[in-house]
Amino acid sequence: MKSISANLNVMIKAAEKASRALIRDFGEIEKLQVSIKGPTDFVSNADLKAEKIIIEELKKARPEYSIISEEDGSESNKDKKNTWIIDPIDGTTNFLHGVPHFAISIALKHEDEIVSGLIYDPIKDEMFYAEKDNGSFFNNQRIRVSKKKDVNACLFATGGICKNEVDLPIRKSGSAALDLAYVAAGRYDGYFQNDLNLWDIAAGIIILKEAGGLINEINLSQNKNIPIRASSMAINEKMLEKLNNF
């Protein structure tokens, strides 16, 4: 494995620190579900707590960088060329219901390009990360997208509402970040969804690209209503044909 940058090292430490709080809170969510108290406020507090930890850790190392985060919004600081993009819990509904499939997502945008990304599943202890021109990794092992060429033998991920039927084998996991990471690692062959937020997919963009995948052009100045069409090169054209009316 190639050496990682100081920025990615900061991202990893921030995610690991926030994950410890999330794991504790996730255990409490399971208990709260069988009590008379609703867990919604607690989940909101878990989001805010994790985000606060991440932002504090990132600011210690790079106080001048700007920030876009799901809960706290945008913070324009001295350095406007570098922006952290943070989602403390991608897959909040899963978290709320005690489903162990959610992730911390942190990306670094330099000017108009994502240059570093990290997606960490704290329950499974699975970390996906990438830097521009340095490859994609899963727990320190290099990853690449699937090599399948027969679209009918593939497995795809999606989310949200499917207004039209799609002639593809699909799964809905409830976490856009992990869906993109799974495509990068070859677990899924493609991923498509409409109306996503930038913090849902920012880290996944670079992880997928560095794993050899293709993704549609994304306007990084747009924070919401983003469509995603991502897959390996081998099946991208065939997937897009199937998604003509999606």
Please say whether the beta carbons of 231 and 145 come within 8 A: yes
6-142 to CATH, choices 3.30.420.40, 3.30.540.10, 3.20.20.140, 3.30.565.10:
3.30.540.10
Average of pLDDT values for 208-223? 95
CATH number listed for the domain at residues 151-242: 3.40.190.80
- pTM check: above 0.85: yes
Tell me the torsion sign for CA atoms 212, 215, 217, 220: negative
One fold for 6-142 and 151-242: no
Phi-psi map region of 24: left, alpha, beta (phi>0 left; psi -120 to 50 alpha):
alpha
Integer CA distances (angstroms), 88 to 49, 69, 205, in order: 9, 8, 17
- Judged against a pLDDT cut of 60, whether residue 36 lies above it is answered with no
Average of pLDDT values for 128-135? 97
Average of pLDDT values for 57-63? 96
Confidence of residue 28 (pLDDT cuts 50, 70, 90): confident
Residue 136, judged by CB atoms within 10 A of its CB (0-12, 13-18, 19+), counts as: buried
The residues with which 116 forms a beta bridge, in sequence order, are: 108, 131
Domain ranges of the chain: 6-142, 151-242
Average of pLDDT values for 33-44? 61
Residues in Cβ contact with 225 at an 8 Å cutoff, skipping those fewer than 6 apart: 194, 195, 196
- Judged against a pLDDT cut of 90, whether residue 87 lies above it is answered with yes
pLDDT tens digits along 132-141: 999 999 999 9
pLDDT tens digits along 151-177: 999 999 999 877 677 889 999 999 999
